[in-house]
Structure 1
Amino acid sequence: MEHPRELVGLTYCVRTFGCQMNLHDSERVAGVLEECGCICVDDTDDADIVVFMTCCVREKADQHLYGQASALVSAPKPPSGRRVVAVGGCIAQRDGARIREHIPVADVVFGTSAIESLPGLLADALADGGREAHVDTVEEGRSFSTELPSHRASAFHAWVPIMTGCDNFCTYCIVPHVRGREKSRTMEAIVGEVERLVADGVREVTLLGQNVNSYGRNIYGEPRFAELLRRVGETGVERIRFTSSNPKDLSDDVIAAMAEVDAVMPHLHLAVQSGSTRVLRAMNRRYTREQYLDLVARLRAAIPELALTTDIIVGFPGETEVDFEDTLSLVREAGFSSAYTFIYSPRPGTPAAKMVDDTPREVIQERFDRLAALVADQAHEANQEDLGRLVGALVEGPSKRSPDVMVGHSEKNRTVHFPLPEGRSADELVGRIVDVRVEEARTWYLRGSVEGEPR
């Protein structure tokens, strides 16, 4: 890749909104800029280049972007005297040059497949002094490439994209319209990347895709995610996680691979979205309430220790009280360890955005509050399972509240807090796995003390 000389020595800051794929894309943006000689800073006020990696799944993400970008108008200029603002990710792909209607300071707009073009776009923006937006949102003809340099946020964890795009077209979801149709990487490319990461000291990988269960369909003619899990498990990586997982494509072979591969962690995020078959049909989710619960039963039979989490939308157009009660009862029956709950947010360009709904906002909010209370109760109950047990926590660093309290995540992806053991430094433990005896199980975290030596 050609490196514009104009970028050498400039400072940059990346602000990320949205999903894990965006986090990985942000690491690739950082890698590309640092290869061009740019220097990372923590504060946008100090940055010559500010990059916003955006999400358009929910309206709140748009508002966060507009708020942060607007703040740059009155922010002090960086030492260079000229700040370049770039907008990437899904909002950039969706809006293109129209972003300037909401963000007049946007100098560069680059789509979900255009990270490689960012340095050239930035150089062009510097050259013309911000007179126009420099845009690249071309999707067609571009392959799914991960060959760009990546500046990982963690030395011990890595995001590994296995596919991008989605063919499901749920009626509320904008992702297929901005990320495109499903495109998978070859199994050899993925396994080779994980092998290199393991050699570099990575202990945990998260396999990424909009629907990992359909991995390989577009290149092999059929899904091969179960085979991929087994192949990645042979690389020597200690922990494997994956997201996102669509229930309609979660096969018995994938369940068997999850149970058989020691490195696959006993945690699965399986978005249900609603407990009402009628609403699921309106969402175009292509499974019923009964099919989802049958899938949960098969998962628990194969992996008894499984921690199951989910996504749920409240207030989808036309949702009745009966539909919502179906959601509450499914949550109870499925026994989720936790759930991300959202009030429906219409996304322009999706079929659901045209659906008429006259449910009062206060009714939807009251339903949301009831669901949130149930989810919190179940999260607290689920965490009691680990009370008194030893859990293996991969240590991430000190707590934000205290440098003497460390934070990690257990095999079930539960947050674990523990005091820094006497005679140990925080730096010494980061990236290590410690056995923590759980002495307190709260709603959203576990707390305990380290036993034995870190590994």
Structure 2
Amino acid sequence: MNEQQRKEMDQVRQKDPKNNLERIKDKSTDEFMKYFETTYQPPNMRDAQRRRKKDVDVHYDFTIPEEMEGVGEDRKYLIRTYGCQMNEHDTEVMAGIFETMGYEPTKQAEEADIILLNTCAIRENAENKVFGEIGHLKSLKRENPDLILGVCGCMAQEEGVVNRILQKHPFIDMIFGTHNIHKIPELLKEAMFSKEMVIDVWSKEGDIIENLPRSRKGKIKAWVNVMYGCDKFCTYCIVPYTRGKERSRLPEDIIQEVRHLAAQGYKEVTLLGQNVNAYGKDLDLDYGLGDLMDDLHKIDIPRVRFTTSHPRDFDDRLIEVLAKGGNMLDHIHLPVQSGSSDVLKIMGRKYSREDYMELVRKIRAAMPDATLTTDIIVGFPNETEEQFQETLSLVEEVGFEAAYTFIFSPRENTPAAKMRDKVSMEEKKERLQRLNALINKQARETMETYENEIVHVLVEGESKNNPDVLAGYTKRNKLVNFVGPESAIGNIVPVRITKAKTWSLDGEMAETTVGVKE
């Protein structure tokens, strides 16, 4: 912060000696709601479902406003991230913006001058964690009135969440959504000098902002966003409302970013999108994810992954490109959600069990050794035991090697949240246990096939459980722990597997790569 900025802040404090927490406490609920109604325009769920493709503006002119340059000098920031890889990527961008303004990162809340909670709205448990953390931060705010507290991410796009923060947690200084990350400098300026809570969550969902700074974790693996939003409107999912309509980055911008990462020595990139294989459908180009992957196939970077895909958009062109091998990996995360066609129809997934199995057949025909993982929801409203059994049989038939499994969590304003449900929570938990037991069995059996085999491992660093052991992943995303030299970190090395566990492999450095199993 320069001398002029310090003078401005001192002037604000002199005019208003009460700290922010006390000032907000003095406001009545009616005053809050009046302010809320005049400054915040929540997403209209009905309008969202009727939306159509619109032109997307792409901006390449991001800069830090002159008055915010250096504002973070001798100051620290902390971002706590909840949820998916997209949130992790958003956090990297926010961190990059803060560091461009002069802030330094910290892991200690007591040291921070600004704390952001980058939130997830997919499940109720994630929301509960965030509101629990907001409660813990209240004492820090009381001890340090100049501390800036912010809530951002998907939860911030929900009208009910913003209302709850306004009414029960008025010490929060700023709330912004997933489309407004590039506005952090101006939002922060307003939060630092304003007497009001700053809310900016749904201004314009259609823009794509390029050239944003990023503070990536490490120099080995990188996230690359290729598209934003989702147009599928599954009946249980809040994402189309919180993340907005599907909009794709231009191919040349993505390819340039991956080339830059390759030049920096990164060994793996993961392409991100809420529905990543719908990439390109909103562009006036005959160019989809398969075409993009084919272009990335030519770049000298060892591994290229993508997540998360939707079975409806997984086309033959993408399968054809993945089958070329090389840096195209044959680990495919393909969420099915249910093995029952009837349940899939109520979920609004717009494919049947038979459609999904036909897609699996095509993938297996092109890539016989492909690893398939998935997402499954247990206990969707009124799911019968017979329908659940169809899910179990599909898991066995496909041979999933891992799965993210969840009990259905109703999200406010989604169609599924309004469905009457006759299935008890006890029964849902029992079904989840049975499903997990099957997934664990299949995972263990797959892992056992790796014993005495040699695999290529991208070494990420020390094991979380043992600093004397290195850890990394195979091309098929199997975690491997082994003893090796520190010089192996950041490289792809051959490892002989000595012991298989359910979710990881133990091994030792190998001197040969003959007979490698990926």
> Which bracket does the TM-score occupy, shorter chain normalised?
over 0.9
In 2, are the aligned partners of 1:229 and 1:261 still within 8 Å (CA)? no
Amino acid at match of 2:348: N
The residue that corresponds to 2:55 in the other structure is: none
Q: Does residue 293 of structure 1 match 2:352?
A: no
Q: TM-score, normalised on structure 1? A: 0.94
Match of 2:19 in 1: none
Which residue of structure 2 aligns with residue 124 of structure 1? 190
1:154 corresponds to = 218
How many Å apart are 1:437 and its aligned residue? 0.5
- Give, in whole Å, the separation in 2 of the partners of 1:446 and 1:160: 28
Residues 1:215 and 2:279 aligned together: yes
Q: Distance in 2 between matches of 1:134 and 1:453?
A: 59
Letter in 1 for 2:212: L
Pair 1:233-2:292 in alignment = no
For residue 38 of structure 1, the aligned residue among 81, 103, 116 is 103
Superposed CA offset, 1:347-385 (max 9, x none): 001111111102111111111111011111111011122
Q: Tell me the distance in 2 between the aligned counterparts of 1:404 and 1:453.
A: 23
Post-superposition shift, 1:74?
2.3
Root mean square deviation of aligned Cα: 1.7
- Give the whole-Å Cα distance in 2 for the aligned partners of 1:339 and 1:169: 22
Cα distance, 1:410–1:141 mapped onto 2, change above 3 Å:
closer
Aligned to 2:148: 84
Given that 2:141 and 2:147 are in contact with CA atoms closer than 8 Å, whether structure 1 keeps it comes out as: no
In structure 1, the gaps of 5 or more residues are none
The CA distance in 1 between the partners of 2:142 and 2:331, in whole Å, is 46
Question: Which is further off, 43-52 or 176-185?
Answer: 43-52
Say whether 1:200 aligns with 2:259.
Answer: no
- State the one-letter code of the partner of 1:121: L
Amino acid at match of 2:201: T
Amino acid at match of 2:499: E
Displacement of 1:76 after TM fit? 7.9
Equivalent position of 2:124 in the other structure: 59
Instruction: Determine the structure 2 residue equivalent to 1:184.
Output: 248
Greater shift, 234-243 or 116-125, is seen at 116-125
Q: Which of 334, 346, 351 is the aligned partner of 1:282?
A: 346
Q: Deviations over 1:196-254 (max 9, x none)?
A: 11111111000001112111010135561111001011111110000011011111111
- Which residue pairs with 2:503 in the alignment? 444
Q: TM-score, normalised by structure 2?
A: 0.83
Structure-2 separation of matches of 1:62 and 1:349: 15
Q: How does 1:287-366 map to 2 (within 5 A)?
A: 287-366=351-430
8 A Cα contact 1:214 1:223, kept in partner: no
Deviations 1:112-166 (A, max 9, x none): 11111112212222223xx421011134265122321000012111110110011
Report if the CA contact (8 A) 2:182-2:209 is conserved: no
Secondary structure at 1:205 match in 2: strand
Distance, in Å, in 1 between the alignment partners of 2:210 and 2:481 is 34
Q: Does the Cα contact within 8 Å between 1:165 and 1:179 map onto a contact in 2?
A: yes
Shift, 1:294, TM fit: 1.6
% of aligned pairs identical? Answer: 43
Q: For residue 7 of structure 1, what is the aligned residue in structure 2?
A: 72
Unaligned residue ranges in structure 2 (runs of 5+): 1-62, 514-518
Is the partner of 2:456 in helix, strand or coil?
A: strand
- Matched residues in 1 for 2:512 and 2:79: separation? 37
Match of 1:376 in 2: 440
Once the two structures are TM-superposed, the CA of residue 109 in structure 1 deviates from its matched residue by 0.8
Contact in 2 for aligned 1:230/1:261 (Cα 8 Å): no
Aligned to 2:59: none
CA contact (8 A) 2:205 2:245 kept: no
Report Cα offsets for 1:77-115 as digits up to 9, x if no partner: 78x762111111101122374233354332111111111
- Name the amino acid aligned to 2:271: L
1:431 aligned to 2:490?
yes
